[in-house]
Amino acid sequence: MQEFGASSLTVQKAMSLLKQDGWAVSRSGKGAFVAHRDHDADPDDLDGPGATASVGGTTARVEALERALADAVGQIADHRGCVEALDTRSDGRVR
């Protein structure tokens, strides 16, 4: 959230989408993890070797998501500037 200036709602939505697409899993009391699609053992076994290992192509997917998020943050900043400009009176005070 701090790195990209994103809201907690945005991060929650991103995590939800990653889970929905099978890229991440959550375990109550343990946290969120990168899904390991090759792991045939018990899916609740987060302590086994490789249980949270990288999924093929995950790095590229994460980088694409980071770029998309950075673009969205830039667009939000641009829009915020436009709104502030519209809200500023001619005497320089904000309404």
Single pTM value for the model:
0.39
Q: Within 13 Å of residue 45, how many CA atoms lie on the same side as its CB?
A: 8
Mean per-residue pLDDT, 63-77? 88
Tokens of 23: 């890229």
| pLDDT at position 83 over 80 | yes
| pLDDT at position 79 over 60 | yes
Q: Rounded distance, CA 33 to CA 81, Å?
A: 36
Q: How would you class 77 by CB atoms within 10 Å of its CB: exposed for 0-12, middle for 13-18, buried for 19 or more?
A: exposed
